[in-house]
Structures are given as C-alpha cells and as structure tokens.
Amino acid sequence: MSYTPTPADKFTFGLWTVGNMGRDPFGEPVRQSRSAAEIVHALAEVGAYGVNFHDNDLVPIDATAAERDQIVKEFKQALADTGLVVPMATTNLFTDPAFKDGAFTANDPAVRAYALHKTMRAIDLGVECGAKVYVFWGGREGVETDAAKDPLEAIKRFREALNFLCAYAKDQGYDLKFALEPKPNEPRGDIYLATVGHALALIATLDDPSMVGVNPEVAHEQMAGLNFLHGVAQAWDAGKLFHIDLNDQAFGRYDQDFRFGAVNLKSAFFLVKFLEEVGYAGSRHFDAHAYRTEGYEGVQDFARGCMRTYLILKEKARQWAADGEIQALLAEINGGDQSAPVYSRAAAAELKGRAFDRRALGARNLGYERLDQLTVDLLLGVR
C-alpha cells in the first residue's frame, strides 16, 4: 500500500519545525537558517498540505514596515506557487526578554499591554495569510517561585486578555477561532493552564466560550506522565478540539518534540484510531523537530516520517476495526444492554430493588490481556 500524503490528510508543519536549526541549551545551531518561502517549497516537496507560523517566524520582531511587506509578499507568493495553505497562526510571546515574566499574566501592566498590542498585529497577519485557527501557547505564563505571583490574579489577567482578543477578532469581522495550548512546565518552572483539563475549565469562564477551544500536544501531556488520548477525548467530548499538535515524547523528560510515533508507538496508534473514528476534520499538525544530527536532507526525511507513520497507523486502525477475532472479543467484552438508565422514580426504585450477584460480577474474565496482545500483534505486522 502507498503511504503518500494527499491534501485530504491535512498534514501541516510550522515554520519553526522544519526550519529549526538544531540549537539546544547546550549547543549552537547545526543547520543554516532558511527563509519562510524556502521552507514552504521544502514542505511542498514532501507532500504537506499546509504551513503554520508564529508572527516572528515569518517577520523578525525588529523588521521595518517595508521589510515586513516584502517578506509577507514573498511568503504569499510561495503559498500560491505551491498550493500550500495556512490553517493556523500564533504569536511569539516567549522569546523576547520583554516577556521574561510572562505576557498576559506579567506583573508589569506595560508588558501585558504590549502583549495585547503584539497579538492583535499578529492576528491581523495570520488572517491576512488565511488562518482560521489562532493558537495561544503561554510559554512564559507561569512562575519559578509562587512568591512572585498570585495565581488567582494571573488567571484573572489571562481571562481578561482572552476576552479582549475575542472581542477584537469579532469586531474586525474575522472568521477565527482561538485554541489554548496547555503545557505543565518548561521554559517556566510551572506554567499556568498545565493540562487540557485546566484549559477547558478556564474556557468555561470566558465571555464567549464558544469561540475558544484547545490545541493539545502529545509531548506536553506526556512529559507530565499523562495519557494524551484521554485529554484529547475529553476535549472532543466538550466540542473543543479545535487543533492538535502531533509529536512524540518519553514520559517524564523535557520537551523532546520527537518525530510522530518515534517513541510510544502503541499510544500513537490509539490516538490516530480515535481521531479517524470520531471524524476529526482539522489539521494534523506536526509540532516536532528533526534530530540535531541531521542536515536539511534529514529534515525532509523527518517530515516524511511524521506523515508516513500517521498514514500507516491509520491503515492499522482500519485493520483493527476489520479484524474478526478482535471484534468478536470486543463484542463479548461489551455484551449486554449498554444503554444508560434514564431517571424516573420507578426506574430508581427498580434499580435499588434489583438483586446483583457481585461474586459473579467480580469473577468474570474480561479478556483484556488477549485483546492487548492482539493489538500488539497487529501493530508488529504478524496478524
């Protein structure tokens, strides 16, 4: 079977992913910088559908108005030449020293005002390039010591900023939804909105909750030892899965941003299976980096690998759904009337009065060991 990506797969990469130069806290860059237009053409070569960007991935923070216009013109021409689209954009509120204490949650009101100023301009740029989703990753929205910031005040400030920006986008007539990207730590010691659940709770308190959802990332949940699939399912159940970041990560490590499926293959399988079965229609965005050992040929291999692994696991999910032994076991596990009781006084009285054989309930063999091994066999290609 061919695992060649098509536009229907909606595979996207950020300028910061395939454009990453391989710098880390202990080493200098190992790859030369490339222009945004060059990155667009490189993504087109590997079969990507779209490209996403932070404002300063595209336009340097200190660019003049004329420089900004020329860069954007060249970028949009590259999009036109290749057919790539921009489904999502975001703002860099973490690199510049002005944001060392956060952006929307900074103690300094001038920093908070500058963060809104920068974000409005970045939203304008994203919409100009076609973005329909706007992501907020609060990389500096946190603390190293709780002595420095009141968490209630920080949450209030975050809420006020999002309310302001939602109102701005609507006032401009933009067809745009916002997505919060949770992360527990790094670069701050502790970051606000640490998990999908934290983000969903804040969204419910906003002036217009319908406009804001989440952008969960594999590595951000797994670095805290959480089950990413469960967070994604909760977001989907809430109608808030507006975007998703795919990569991979060893549990309990720093943010590694490995190629999708490079570490936890079974977890990646169940994630792909979920997204395909529920009919998730958004971008499959690979927020990952090639190994620092690679030149740009290796970066191309990395990008192809992300998409190929997803497509292989998508096919495995089809095989899993069509496997007679697996499906028979699932039917046995989920036997009986699976409908939930609807409350009425009579239904409650009947349920309270019903006799249950708890020993028989506890003695039943559920077959989960066999089911899991059948899944492993399928993933290893021996079924």
At 240-282, the pLDDT tens digits run 999 999 999 999 899 999 999 999 999 999 999 999 999 999 9
Phi, then psi, of 190 in degrees rounded to 5:
-140, 130
CATH 3.20.20.150-classified regions of the chain: 7-321
- Return the CATH class of domain 7-321: alpha beta
**Chain-centre distance for alpha carbon 38:** 25
What is the per-residue pLDDT for 380?
Answer: 97
Check 9, 41, 55, 57 and give the catalytic one: 57
> Is 124 among the catalytic positions?
no
At 192-219, the pLDDT tens digits run 999 999 999 999 999 999 999 999 999 9
What is the value of pTM for the model shown?
Answer: 0.97
Q: Which helix (H) or strand (E) holds 229?
A: helix 228-237
Mean of per-residue pLDDT scores for the chain: 97
Question: Quick one: angle between helices 265-278 and 228-237, nearest 10?
Answer: 10
Give the residue carrying structure tokens 């990155």.
39
What is the per-residue pLDDT for 1?
Answer: 76
User: Count of CB atoms within 10 A of residue 139's CB?
Assistant: 19
Check 9, 24, 41, 54 and give the catalytic one: 54
Does residue 132 contact residue 175 with C-beta atoms inside 8 Å? yes
> Is 208 among the catalytic positions?
no
Inform me whether the pLDDT recorded for 89 exceeds 90.
yes
